[in-house]
Amino acid sequence: MIAQGLEIEGFAAAVIDALSSNICVTDKGGVIIAVNQAWRNFTVENPPISDHAGVGSNYLAICRGSAGPGSEGADTFASGLQAVLEKKSNFFEMEYPCHSPSQNRWFLGRVTRMEAEPWGAVISHANITDRKVLELELVKLATTDPLTGLPNRRYFLEVANLEAVRVLRFGAVASVLMVDLDHFKSVNDTYGHGVGDETLRQITQLLAKHLRQIDVLARVGGEEFTIMLPGTNEAGGVTLAQKLRQKLSETPVKVGNNQFNVTASFGVSEILAGETEVDACLDRADKALYAAKRSGRNNVISFTAISRAAGKSDALS
């Protein structure tokens, strides 16, 4: 029986050593009592870890003492491991970044309760970097305009709705600009779509140059852009829009031997108290944009301005 037990133990160790995941076993106090070959290789390749993550080390202390690059999520993982060791949970897992100075990496960490003596936990860390990079690329493709590199409508709506909730919860302010390039079809008709595409890229760079880091500029249509301005009321949005309008009209687009000016019309609206989504604000900004176009283009109009004009018209009729 003893010989058979040793054979089984040796077989199990060989199997675990053959796995690509980094695996360790802890006792009920979180002290590491065994590691596989992948674990040993990983600690050797990552010198800061090798001094602390060997047999005899306390894994809970390792997590809670982690700091700097690669330590993201360590406290959460320690809490999950603690719950398993205290038999409050049978299983815990989480994905987390563990970036090195030379590579961005992601791992899937799993903790499983070990029922046999000396009961504790089996911890595994699988490198999921390839899958995570693919996921991030897919998200980027789904939320980015390929021509300008700006966020697309989908991403803008996600961010703007979060901002609307912040306005509601904290009594903050935010406004939205709708921007539409004037007579842009004539650029494509006169110079070709290649020049038109380069024009959009140059316009994107010019707009972004005059925005804050917290502002969100997105391309939501062919020649239509939207800008979210956190912490800015409608009057502030009008001031910025006038600045952007002037910069656009004064800065010529240069593509090869072609040089020409492009203007834009702007509609401005503020997110109102009580609005939990940005759709109504976008609708108001869109109405103001069309009023700017009807007034002769290369113009800025706020929703408040067209509301006042409508009120005066009703009073006179």
Sheet holding 32-35, edge to edge: 32-35, 22-27, 120-127, 106-114, 91-97
The number of domains in the chain is: 2
- As a whole number of angstroms, the distance between CA 174 and CA 166 comes to 9
For residue 271, list its beta bridge partners. Answer: none
Residue 245 lies in a domain: yes
Q: Give which of 47, 62, 48, 69 is closest to 123, Cα–Cα.
A: 62
**Are 52 and 157 part of one and the same domain?**
no
Alpha helices in the chain (DSSP H): 2-18, 37-45, 47-50, 59-64, 74-85, 129-143, 153-170, 184-191, 193-209, 234-250, 279-294, 303-316
- Each residue's pLDDT expressed in tens, for the chain with a length of 317 residues: 334 444 546 666 777 888 889 999 999 999 999 899 888 888 777 655 545 678 888 999 888 887 766 577 888 999 999 999 999 999 999 998 877 767 788 899 999 998 877 689 999 999 999 998 888 788 777 889 999 999 999 999 988 998 888 888 888 899 999 999 999 999 999 999 999 999 999 999 999 999 999 999 999 999 999 999 999 999 999 999 999 999 999 999 999 999 999 999 999 999 998 888 899 999 999 999 999 999 999 999 999 999 887 765 554 44
pTM of the model: 0.64
Q: Is the bond leading into 101 cis (omega within 30 degrees of zero)? A: no
Residue 137 lies in a domain: no
**Are 159 and 238 part of one and the same domain?**
yes
Catalytic residue list = 223
- As a whole number of angstroms, the distance between CA 62 and CA 236 comes to 50
**Are 114 and 196 part of one and the same domain?**
no
**Are 154 and 82 part of one and the same domain?**
no
Sheet holding 216-219, edge to edge: 216-219, 224-230, 174-181, 264-270, 300-302
